[in-house]
Amino acid sequence: MKPISVAAAARIKRRRALQETLIARLQEASNVPIGLVKQALTGPEFASYRAQIPLSAKTGLTSNAYRRLKQYSAKLRKADRLDAWAERVAPSGSIGLKRWRLNSPRGQADAAYEHAYEFLAELVEMGNGISTFLDRPVLFKAGDWPDSNPDCAPRLVGSRSQYALKGIDEVKADAIALKLATLKDSLRHIDEPEQALATGNFFQGTDGDIDDGFPASALDT
């Protein structure tokens, strides 16, 4: 085995210290910037980490698809507001309930959901991997559309809505778990000279252009 140079040993020591610091932060459920994760890993390790990030957590949408998803998000927010209003003013009695369902406000809420679903159906049909960014499977076959209520409405991965199946908290937890597992695995191997010095590919500095957050997580639906 070739002896490790003083400079190489110093690099390994710095990387180990950074890994231990980041692991401690992640174990406290405090996320860390991806730029710091990049500094703490070798080139191959960072590439492997990036490959494990779900598509829905990457900035992989075209600008047009992203804009259309924002439009769907806005339509869904409108439907949710109308649904909440309809529930607040729901009448008692069969005659009043029938009128409430067919007209304002229940009818407005149902129409708003249907309008949002029609828009989403067109978007899914366009492709671009749109379905990957939704928190549940969508088919939009005849007679198999989601019900017109907030519980059944497809939402974006990373949504802040209480009705999301995979909301912002789950997305953040998944991101923390992946970073933590990657750093722990790297730390276990860092004392193996062949691995630590395999390519000499140590990252320097941070990369502000890299972000592992799904852009639609800010859509707040």
Global pTM?
0.59
Mean pLDDT of each 10-residue bin along the chain, 221 residues long:
71 88 88 87 88 63 76 93 84 55 75 93 80 82 80 87 80 84 88 50 36 36 42
Give dist(CA 71, CA 165) in Å, integer.
20
pLDDT at residue number 137: 83
How many domains is the chain built from?
A: 2
pLDDT at residue number 23: 92
Specify whether 101 is located in the same domain as 154.
Answer: yes
pLDDT at residue number 74: 93
pLDDT at residue number 139: 78
Residue 1 lies in a domain: no
Which residue is associated with the tokens 């972000």? 211
Which DSSP symbol is given to 147? P
Q: Which residues contact 109 (CB under 8 A, 6 or more apart)?
A: 79, 82, 83, 85, 86, 148
Which residue is associated with the tokens 């439009």? 71
Specify whether 92 is located in the same domain as 146.
Answer: yes
pLDDT at residue number 102: 55
Segments forming the whole domain that contains residue 82: 63-167
pLDDT at residue number 105: 77
Residue 146 lies in a domain: yes
